[in-house]
Amino acid sequence: MLLFLLALISSATLLGAAVTAVQEQQMTGHSFIAAGVALILAAVNFFGVRRAGLGMAAITREKSEAVQAMYGKAFCLAILLWAVCTGFIGFWVVHFVNVRL
């Protein structure tokens, strides 16, 4: 459940930053393209974070519970830092689409 929430938070941050950038730049014609690209990236991010978490769980399955807890906390911290990065990515995707098109 926590893995699902972490994936959802990082994907929602990406999508939210993209929507905010579209509103700030008042894009008209390219708004749908930018929103579509951001939506695709958010979906890829969601499944990528989930896959990374499940892969880490599979790797640490054989280790002690204390080591599993340490890896879990480190993974949560890494994903929360990644959520900040996805906000920047969402903003810059919209900016890139606006400049290129």
Domain of 7, in residue numbers:
2-100
* Contact yes or no for 53/75 (Cβ under 8 A): yes
Question: Residue 101: which pLDDT band, with cuts at 50, 70 and 90?
Answer: low
* Contact yes or no for 11/38 (Cβ under 8 A): no
Count H helices and E strands in the chain, helices first. Answer: 3, 0
Q: Round to whole Å and give the CA distance between 35 and 54.
A: 29
* Contact yes or no for 26/42 (Cβ under 8 A): no
Residue 100 has pLDDT above 90, yes or no: no
Each residue of 34-83: pLDDT tens digit?
Answer: 888 899 999 999 999 999 999 999 999 999 999 999 999 999 999 999 99
Question: How many domains are there within the chain?
Answer: 1
Q: Round to whole Å and give the CA distance between 7 and 9.
A: 6
- Name which residue leads in pLDDT, 24 or 68: 68
